[in-house]
């Protein structure tokens, strides 16, 4: 409430996203008024204020959940949506609630890796790990073409299943157990040629996103993996004119084909990308972790985990290591990927390009139960830091 009202300093990465948002903030009058002061996005070092949001946060602080989903805040948001032709009602907002879900998991070289179930895309990372578990990654160069090629090919197979099968399990049957079975991993792995890129897979075009991820471990070793996103830098670009609330854009992930499991429908949640991860060993949490970046996140989780488990990197090394991502039928390779690795990927049949922005942004806290210590890592690709006190 204090920062929304008194102002906060715009940091460099926030200014970068503000300057080149995926959403046109000038279309919505309230968005333009709040987020384009003077008709321009704030620059790094500017102080930005959101007084309408401060007032909304005070209502929520006083009334809790009801302060948002009922009363004047809900009325402002629903009223704006109805003006735009939306079908939302106050009853829709009042009926909204969160659910407790049981995580889905796989084992990777003795570690338990846990993700949220569909409609979350976390299963995609588990599929990739199951496929890669059949290759001896530790025997190959961690920054070489062979390792990156295997990661890309496992990702291509896993994303195919993500896009074809993942949806709201409250409304659609998703074959989670079958997809996570060792037999299915064997089947997918058999399709991978370590020396050649696959040629018969569907086109993959994945949107990016901007997400906030936080890992927390307390002195009693309670671990929290927390993620939040409006999807894209400014969500839908629609803002409650009195409340200053930016409305999210998760409906983008729905399909319009009525035959698709993830087709849009009343009261249905879309497949969504935000993935809080947790790693365990011997029944205890050893690392809450996450890597932001919309559809990149499964790649980011797998790259982080294999860096640590297969190559013995600490959290910061694993986060800092250069990344690749298969998108728009090409391999996006960060500038830190070695020239020889890029050439090796091309020799295997991949088209390699540079990404237009950093790939993801990771954070993690590793718990060493024997030493009684915590080791944090935070990604320089975004704002953030590792902090202990």
Q: Is 334 exposed, middle or buried (0-12, 13-18, 19+ CB in 10 A)?
A: middle
Contact between 176 and 117 under an 8 Å Cβ cutoff? The reply is yes
Q: Catalytic residue, from 23, 106, 124, 211: name it.
A: 211
Contact between 259 and 280 under an 8 Å Cβ cutoff? The reply is no
Q: Is 203 exposed, middle or buried (0-12, 13-18, 19+ CB in 10 A)?
A: exposed
CA neighbours closer than 13 Å in the CB half-sphere of residue 39: 0
Cα-based distances in Å from 335 to 315, 322, 332: 21, 8, 10
> 306 an active-site residue?
no
Taken in order 78, 80, 82, 87, the sign of the CA dihedral is: negative
Which residues are marked as active site? 211
């Amino acid at each position: 409430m204090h920062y929304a009202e008194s102002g906060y300093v715009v940091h460099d990465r926030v200014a970068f996203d503000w300057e080149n948002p995926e959403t046109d903030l000038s279309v919505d009058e309230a968005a333009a008024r709040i987020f384009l002061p003077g008709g321009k996005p704030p620059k790094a070092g500017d102080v930005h204020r959101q007084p309408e949001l401060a007032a909304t946060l005070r209502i929520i602080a006083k009334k809790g959940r009801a302060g948002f989903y009922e009363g004047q805040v809900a009325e402002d948001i629903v009223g704006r949506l109805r003006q735009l032709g939306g079908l939302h009602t106050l009853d829709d907002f009042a009926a909204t609630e969160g659910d407790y879900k049981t995580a889905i998991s796989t084992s990777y070289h003795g570690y338990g890796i846990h993700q949220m179930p569909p409609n979350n895309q976390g299963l995609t990372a588990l599929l990739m790990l199951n496929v890669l578990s059949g290759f001896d990654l530790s025997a190959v160069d961690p920054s070489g073409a062979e390792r990156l090629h295997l990661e890309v090919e496992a990702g291509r197979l896993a994303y195919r299943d993500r896009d074809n099968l993942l949806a709201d399990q409250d409304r659609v049957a998703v074959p989670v157990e079958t997809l996570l079975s060792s037999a299915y991993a064997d089947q997918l792995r058999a399709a991978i040629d370590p020396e050649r890129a696959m040629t018969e897979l569907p086109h993959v075009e994945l949107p990016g996103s901007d997400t906030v991820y936080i890992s927390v471990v307390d002195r009693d070793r309670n671990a929290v993996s927390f993620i939040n996103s409006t999807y894209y830098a400014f969500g839908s670009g629609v803002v409650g004119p009195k409340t200053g609330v930016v409305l999210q854009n998760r409906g983008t992930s729905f399909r319009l084909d009525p035959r698709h499991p993830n087709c849009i429908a009343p009261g249905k949640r879309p497949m969504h990308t935000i993935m809080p991860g947790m790693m365990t060993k011997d029944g205890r949490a050893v690392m809450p972790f996450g890597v932001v970046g919309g559809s990149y996140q499964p790649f980011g989780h797998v790259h982080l985990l294999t860096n640590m488990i297969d190559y013995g990197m600490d959290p910061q090394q694993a986060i800092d290591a250069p990344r690749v991502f298969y998108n728009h039928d090409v391999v996006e390779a960060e500038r830190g990927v070695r020239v020889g690795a890029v050439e090796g990927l091309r020799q295997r049949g991949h088209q390699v390009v540079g990404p237009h922005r950093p790939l993801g942004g990771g954070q993690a806290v590793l718990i060493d139960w024997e030493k009684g210590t915590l080791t944090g890592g935070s990604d320089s690709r975004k704002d953030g830091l590792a902090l202990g006190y």
